[in-house]
Amino acid sequence: MWIAGCGGATGPVLLGLLLELLVPGGGAAKTGAGLVTCGSVLKLLNTHHRVRLHSHDIKYGSGSGQQSVTGVESSDDANSYWRIRGGSEGGCPRGSPVRCGQAVRLTHVLTGKNLHTHHFPSPLSNNQEVSAFGEDGEGDDLDLWTVRCSGQHWEREAAVRFQHVGTSVFLSVTGEQYGSPIRGQHEVHGMPSANTYNTWKAMEGIFIKPSVEPSEGHDEL
């Protein structure tokens, strides 16, 4: 059984956030190539199954019972926006480019919960469950994900991986699909090894212009 919550006024929350980012002098950009920066709001596409990382006020009926995280094919669903935040207080100043190897939190814009995983089996594939956890962006150490990418910084046109700091699994989609009440949405879970199922790319969003000039480097994905 799935458990639906009472969502509240989520539309105005998103609208207010986007307006905050788009005020004159706010340093935000909708389009163009560049770097993913701290404070940016974006959608993430799984490059193998072509679904966007998604959440909603519907809880798992098994496992942890926390808010479910799925993949959706739609490109215009407001429930697919995530905000890039630091792994610790002051660890990701607004506008600073996200470094390859940096730990970040991905906060779901409409519910304020963080992308999270733990040692519960996922409902369909029996991999590691991925959920959304916390309140108003405050959760725990199991909300931390390391950005694995090539080069020095996370580039918007490049494929990246997200490896969980606490359990070492990679954020993945292998194609399993749910039935009612979220029919057609894909299971998102953690897998122990890097493979074609766990590469992601930044898509639609509001990107904060870099506040510092990035340096060059050559790390491995």
Q: What is the pLDDT of residues 10-22, one digit of tens each?
A: 444 554 555 454 4
State residue 43's pLDDT score. Answer: 98
* Residue 172 β-bridge partners: 189
Q: What is the pLDDT of residues 94-124, one digit of tens each?
A: 999 999 999 999 999 999 999 999 999 999 9
Q: How far apart are CA 206 and CA 195, in angstroms?
A: 28
The whole-number average pLDDT for the span 207-216 is 72
What percentage of the chain carries pLDDT values higher than 70?
Answer: 80
State residue 217's pLDDT score. Answer: 45
Question: Which candidate, 81, 90, 86, places its Cα nearest to that of 14?
Answer: 81
Those residues whose C-beta lies under 8 Å from the C-beta of residue 57, and which sit 6 or more positions away, are 4, 5, 6, 7, 67, 111
Q: Taking a C-beta distance cutoff of 8 angstroms, is the pair 128, 189 a contact?
A: yes
How many C-beta neighbours within 10 Å does residue 178 have?
17
Using the structure block, give the residue that is written with the tokens 């950005």.
Answer: 147
Which residue segments constitute the domains of the chain, with CATH numbers given?
37-206 (2.80.10.50)
Q: Taking a C-beta distance cutoff of 8 angstroms, is the pair 59, 2 a contact?
A: yes
State residue 135's pLDDT score. Answer: 93
Q: Please give the C-alpha separations between residue 159 and each of 8, 103, 156, 162, in angstroms, as whole numbers.
A: 34, 17, 8, 10
Count of H-run helices and E-run strands, the chain: 1, 15
Q: What is the pLDDT of residues 45-58, one digit of tens each?
A: 999 999 999 999 99
The whole-number average pLDDT for the span 134-144 is 93
Q: What is the pLDDT of residues 154-206, one digit of tens each?
A: 999 999 999 999 999 999 999 999 998 899 999 999 999 999 999 999 999 99
State residue 212's pLDDT score. Answer: 64
